[in-house]
Amino acid sequence: MTETKTDSIRTFSGPLSNPARDAAIHTEGLSKVYKDFWGRPKVEALLDLDLTIHRGEVFGLLGPNGSGKSTTIKLLLGLIFPSKGRGYVLGQPAGSTTINEKIGFLPEESYLYRFLNGEEILKFYGRLFKIPRRELNRRVPELLDIVGLDAKSRKRKLREYSKGMARRIGLAQAMINNPDLILLDEPTTGLDPIGTREMKDLIVSLKDQGKTVLLCSHLLADVQDVCDRITILFRGKMQTLGSVKDLLQVKDVTQIEASGLTPQQIEETRLFMSRMGAGNAQITHPTTTLEELFVRVVQNNGDAAKRDIK
């Protein structure tokens, strides 16, 4: 589709539907080619990403290492510039300084000031956002409670923090400005199963507060429970998009469920079903696992063995 065509469609659809303005995140043909030292194209990290993430949604960006997830986040934050295409965040072009205070970001690696303690780092970031001192004195302990850092940990220097503690303080830092949109890059790295569960509960509570969350992960279990919709990226290309439930439903098979049947009843049910009609029997489509879907999508798109392993 040419530029002119896209523009005319937008005009005809009128002001009622304009995802660039209304969606939490909207991208059109967003692409990134990293250049080498000499300015020659080196890696096509993201190719023609067309994506709309609605406000209030928890959206999962899934993909193996090197598939372009962090690149997408960096483009949305305006930390790097697209080679082609456009991105909009909270109704503004990606990178607009006017929306900075409405966005929270947990980077893949948090570069924290190692000689500050947990409490101090949050106060430091709070001051960057010009949050009044009184408000900050209330908010900092509240956030530390939310992310589960106890009284002892919050007084320890960050250089002594474990990976899991660093992730927690990173999340608190991402929420210091009470943002509308939160971008989380691999939020559960380094967390044990309990920590992972807590992180997922936190993400769900952010949604309950009406916030939009974009969650990047290569860990399937991270996204299966918490995301409304997901997309799978592979080699910079979007492979599939939809709600977890829809993507996992096996539509060409029907499953009939009932509990408490005796063997005789089961046999009778079978006979009965063969003749048609069923009382309280539940008829559903069985679901596959996200792991199966993921492997299928990735394998369908080239020899998985040849993919860049980072």
Ligand X SMILES: Nc1ncnc2c1ncn2[C@@H]1O[C@H](COP(=O)(O)OP(=O)(O)O)[C@@H](O)[C@H]1O
- Select from Mg ion, ligand X, none the partner in contact with residue 71, using the beta carbon and a kind-dependent cut-off of 5 to 8 Å: ligand X
Query: Which two three-digit tokens encode residue 47?
Result: 């190719």
Least Cβ distance, residue 35 to ligand X (angstroms) = 8
Q: Does 65 bind ligand X (CB under 6 A)?
A: yes
Any idea what the Cα angle at residue 226 is, between residues 222 and 229, rounded to 5°? 100
Whichever of 5 and 310 has its CB closer to ligand X, that residue is 310
Least Cβ distance, residue 94 to ligand X (angstroms) = 15
Q: Does 170 bind ligand X (CB under 6 A)?
A: no
Least Cβ distance, residue 255 to Mg ion (angstroms) = 37
Amino acid in position 296: R
Beta-strand pair 103-106/41-53: unpaired
Least Cβ distance, residue 78 to Mg ion (angstroms) = 17
Whichever of 68 and 78 has its CB closer to ligand X, that residue is 68
- Select from ligand X, Mg ion, none the partner in contact with residue 275, using the beta carbon and a kind-dependent cut-off of 5 to 8 Å: none
Question: Residues 27, 52, 67, 110: which binds ligand X (CB under 6 A)?
Answer: 67
Amino acid in position 213: V
| Binding positions for ligand X, 4-43, rule CB under 6 A | 34, 42-43
Question: Residues 49, 51, 59, 66: which binds ligand X (CB under 6 A)?
Answer: 66
Q: Which of 33, 37, 36, 35 is nearest to 45 (CA)?
A: 33
For residue 136, the surrounding DSSP H or E stretch is: helix 133-146
The single residue listed with the structure tokens 């965040």 is 89
Please say whether the beta carbons of 102 and 111 come within 8 A: no
Whichever of 59 and 125 has its CB closer to ligand X, that residue is 59
Q: Which of 259, 227, 258 is nearest to 242 (CA)?
A: 227
Question: Residues 23, 25, 52, 63: which binds ligand X (CB under 6 A)?
Answer: 63
Whichever of 69 and 123 has its CB closer to Mg ion, that residue is 69
| Binding positions for Mg ion, 102-141, rule CB under 5 A | 108
Whichever of 178 and 189 has its CB closer to ligand X, that residue is 189
SS3 content of the chain, % helix, strand, coil (to 5): 40, 25, 35
Query: Which two three-digit tokens encode residue 221?
Result: 């279990």
For residue 72, the surrounding DSSP H or E stretch is: helix 69-77
Q: Which of 77, 68, 76 is nearest to 34 (CA)?
A: 68
CA distance 154 to 172: 12
Please say whether the beta carbons of 233 and 239 come within 8 A: yes
Whichever of 149 and 238 has its CB closer to ligand X, that residue is 238
Instruction: Mark 57-86 with x for binding to Mg ion (rule: CB under 5 A) and - for no binding.
Output: ------------xx----------------
Binding site for Mg ion (CB under 5 A): 69-70, 108
Binding site for ligand X (CB under 6 A): 34, 42-43, 45, 63, 65-71, 308, 310
